[in-house]
Structure 1
Amino acid sequence: MELDIEELNLLLEKLFLYEDIELSDIPDLDLYMDQVITLFNDKLAHLKRSDDDKILTKTMINNYAKAKILIPPNKKKYTKNHIVLLILIYYLKQNLSINDIYLLFKDMIEALNSADKEHVEIQKIYESFLHIKKAQADKISEDLSEKIDLIHKNTQGLNPETMKSEQMLITVLALINEANILKRLAEKIIDDFFADNGFR
């Protein structure tokens, strides 16, 4: 029995790739920390690998503030900009160190802390990211189908009795290899464009 693309597409569907916190989901009123955590847990619960996983906690928020990748709250309340930053941090920390995230956000955080914060376009950046994320989700199934064809071509000599599990292992190796290449590229962009006095 061979690896089946339909089986992997069913797994992809379980990832809910199209579910995001839209800007319209974020209240215009400032929120207390508990309300922010509730918003994240309600809207991003599908991203948890297990029920014990935490999307966002008070400790995480405090650690982000200490690491200077989050602007301080205003009278213990968090604005729409805070929430957008927290969402971006959530996505980035899956693959990047806190130090790399600091380098990415350093100039933006300084601007958000300044009197000129009205000119910081963090919400537009987030909206652009969501559009690109959705376009990437559309392409994942197509790319996966190409990978499976490549795996089928390169595994014909495997034992038919164990072929499927071995093809699954090779699929994981191929996906992780691609993820590692893309992670290294992201780190190289940070090293070359953000680490030295910020991106200009």
Structure 2
Amino acid sequence: MEEKSLNEIIRELELSESIELSSIPNIDLYMDQVITLFEDKLTHTKRNKADKLLTKTMINNYTKDKLLMPAAKKKYTKEHIILMILLYELKHILTIGDIKELFRVIIKDDKVDAKKLSSIYQTYLNSKIRAIETFETSVEATTKALKEEISKMDLANDKQIENMLLAIMLTEKATYYKRLAEKIIDEKIGARE
């Protein structure tokens, strides 16, 4: 749980790496091309090398679940790709039902307002930069507070225990954010009808 090694781990996460709007082709892509784009641009997000970021089955299921608009002539637009990126990021934490509720804000009758979606995505990317800075500060504060607590107990100098407790506390914080996001979906987005 040493500061330097934890900072190295955070750097290895490559949190600031994103698919910028300018990196999304302005031409429609076939499914295999979309999958290749994800593999090229988001490989750093894989926990294990064998993990699949996106598959044909996933894309078909997202379309069936109305998380994505149907492809036009088997081709996917820039808007499809933006939605798939957001979906990829959200599904780590939220259920497909919650994501569907979120996407209802922008997808109406299998159509999406391209300009509005681009603005949403760019705002997401800009906010993500600030969130990364806050994340790093929060991890440092959590680590410091945990070390203070550990020093009061007979757990000091046991790195495995320190790392276990840090993982538990980071998971606890993630739970707070997840629960808050669910409440916003339930009370602010889902309640709009």
Structure 2: distance between partners of 1:144 and 1:176 = 11
CA contact 2:101–2:185 (8 Å) conserved in 1: yes
Task: Name the structure 1 match of 2:33.
Answer: 35
Q: Which amino acid aligns with 2:133?
A: D
Shift, 1:160, TM fit: 4.2
Shift, 1:139, TM fit: 2.5
Task: Name the structure 1 match of 2:11.
Answer: 13
Q: Tell me if 1:158 matches 2:154.
A: yes
Which residue of 114, 126, 144 maps to 1:149?
144
Q: For 1:1-200, list aligned pairs within 5 A.
A: 3-110=1-108, 113=111, 117=113, 121-156=116-151, 157-161=153-157, 163-197=158-192
Structure 1: distance between partners of 2:60 and 2:73 = 15
TM-score normalised by the chain length of structure 2: 0.94
Q: 1:27 to 1:58 in 2, by over 3 A?
A: same
In the alignment, structure 2 segments of 5+ residues that lack a partner are: none
Q: Which has the higher contact order (CA 8 A, sep 6+)?
A: 1
Shift, 1:197, TM fit: 4.0
Shift, 1:74, TM fit: 1.1
Structure 2: distance between partners of 1:102 and 1:59 = 17
Q: Aligned to 2:60, what secondary structure does the other structure show?
A: helix
Structure 2: distance between partners of 1:195 and 1:143 = 30
TM-score normalised by the chain length of structure 1: 0.91
Shift, 1:112, TM fit: 5.7
Q: Which amino acid aligns with 2:54?
A: L
Identity of aligned residues (%): 42
Q: 1:109 to 1:159 in 2, by over 3 A?
A: closer
Q: Which amino acid aligns with 1:152?
A: K
CA RMSD in angstroms comes to: 1.5
Q: How many aligned positions are there?
A: 192
Q: Which amino acid aligns with 2:177?
A: L
Q: Which amino acid aligns with 1:12?
A: I
Q: Aligned to 1:27, what secondary structure does the other structure show?
A: coil
Deviations 1:5-61 (A, max 9, x none): 111111001100111100010111111111010000000000000011111110000
Structure 2: distance between partners of 1:53 and 1:28 = 28
Shift, 1:145, TM fit: 1.4
Shift, 1:159, TM fit: 4.0
